A = this chain, B = another copy of it.
Amino acid sequence: MGTPAGLTDARAAAPYDAAAGQYYDVAVIGGGVVGHGIAWQVRRSGRTVALIDDAPGTGASWAAAGMLAPVSELHYQEEDLLELMLESSRLWPDFAAQLQPVAAEPAGTGTGNEAAAGTGYLTAPTIAVGADAADRRALADLRTVQQACGLVVEPLTVRAARRREPLLSPGISCAFDIPADHQVDPRLLLARIAALLAADSGSHAVQRRAAGLLWQDGHVAGVSLAGGGEVRARETIVANGLGAAELGGLPPGLRLPLRPVHGDILRLRVPARLRPLLGSTVRGLVRGVPVYIVPRQDGTVVIGATQREVALGEPAASGAGGAVSAGGVYALLRDAQQLLPAVAELELLEATARARPATPDNAPLLGRVADQAAGRPGDIAGLIIATGFFRHGILLTPVAAQICQQLLDGMADPRWTRFRPGRFSAGVPAADPHTAVARTPGRMDPHYPSPYPEHSKETP
């Protein structure tokens, strides 16, 4: 496809030659949407990049609905996260536009509903609806918080909501228009970035499982691969979701408190006679339980929202859990039908379950890690963590990519230091703007003990 859109060729990529001691500029561990987004941004900044994943795109990204919904996703006491979500939301139009084929029209013009070719990015609005009186009160209370945060959430009468979405049940108790919450198709998005990277000689997809971090002279020097082999890199970005905590060679004392939160998601096909089923994404509250219905332009819809802290059956080796809960599927169909009775007429194409990486404060683990060696101020060089995105991985991809690039450039935005990955680790200094710029490898102490290759899992 020629030179991919958005790739800077000023710094031509040299082919990687491990035997010759060559380094990638950046190794990204994890081939989900976040990892791909970071790798693409890294490459656009002129750096060579290796993206390491033995099964790219099959984790949480495979199940994600792709709602870009900072407003709807605002939860009580998560206002810190809101700023990050809003920043990413602002980045999304340009991020999606950069991914468009060069010959296509610019995104964001026209009706606002055309897909940015290849990613399914849509600026169609979201409509929040409640099923009963308690749901109405809950959504009205949430609106108060949303408005206090400066977000636009406008009440609609049920009649007005049904004028806009005629298939909504007349029995809904309330409706709110949320124009700023959009969507993207995560599978298309990932495939589009992967295709751009594949066409670019400065990036390399390593379809192997990362075993751990490689250390050299007190800094991270790349990634060791399961079954042998390694990828050497000046900087390594850990973006493999739940797998991050299982990597060998994590910095001593660094605790990555990731836990799997499972979700079931359904994909359904709308029969021709019912198209378009919806013009807006519907986010519902049914007897206090959330459910969403996301219409795609290909005539399918995604229905989801279940959250299970415990995986069904025997735990999968990866902890990512692909088991779909019959009770979860039942509840999704029940609640979706209550808001949109035509759901019963749809064809069930797929039921999928995946685990998302949650953290104790529901915010990501994103940034560099303070060096704990005695008398060594600053952060561990060569290492960036970008995981724990929980429900927000798709929305937060552009801002995560931007933050990673800033860190690679030696800058750190003080707004984001509160998300530094060491914040749950006793003994690892918390956010400190003065340490946010990593030392360069040249300043490393060669006698610093390397925790690698023991592959010890340092998560007490």
Q: Encode A330-342 as 1/0 by CB contact (under 8 A) with B.
A: 1001100100000
Q: Cβ of A78 < 8 Å from any Cβ of B?
A: no
Q: Are B348 and A324 in contact (CB under 8 A)?
A: yes
Chain B residues near A330: list those with CB within 8 A. 330, 333-334, 337, 344
Count this chain's copies in the assembly.
Answer: 2
Nearest B residue to A334, CB-CB: B330
- Closest B residue to A322 by beta carbon equals B347
Give the distance in Å from the alpha carbon of A327 to the alpha carbon of B344 in the complex: 4
CB of A272 within 8 Å of the partner chain: yes
A271-B312, A312-B271, A313-B271 known; A348+B326 contact, CB < 8 A: yes
Bound-state CA distance A260–B453 (Å) is 63
Query: Closest approach, in angstroms, between the C-beta of A437 and any C-beta of chain B?
Result: 48
Contacts of A326 in B (CB 8 A): 266, 268, 333, 343-348
Name the distance in Å between A404's Cβ and chain B's nearest Cβ: 37
Q: What are 8 of the A-B contact pairs (CB < 8 Å)?
A: A266-B326, A271-B313, A272-B314, A313-B347, A324-B349, A326-B346, A329-B329, A330-B330
Nearest chain B CB to A184 CB, angstrom units: 24
Interface status of A61 (Cβ within 8 A of chain B): no
- Chain A interface bracket (under 10, 10 to 19, 20 to 34, 35 or more): 20 to 34
Minimum CB–CB distance from A270 to chain B (whole Å) comes to: 9
On whether the beta carbons of B324 and A347 are closer than 8 Å, the reply is: yes
Bound-state Cα–Cα, A329 to B303, Å:
14
**Within 8 Å CB of A349, what residues of B?**
324
| A323, A324, A326, A343 interface centre (most CB from chain B within 10 Å) | A326
User: Does chain B have a CB within 8 A of A351?
Assistant: yes
Known: A329-B329, A330-B333, A333-B330. A347 touches B312 (CB 8 A): yes
Nearest CB on B from A264, distance (A): 8
CB pair B325 A348 closer than 8 Å: yes
Query: Which residues of the partner chain B approach A312 to less than 8 Å between Cβ atoms?
Result: 271, 345, 347
Q: How far is the CA of A271 from the CA of B326 in the complex (A)?
A: 12
Q: When chains A and B are docked, how far (Å) is the Cα of A266 from the Cα of B329? A: 12
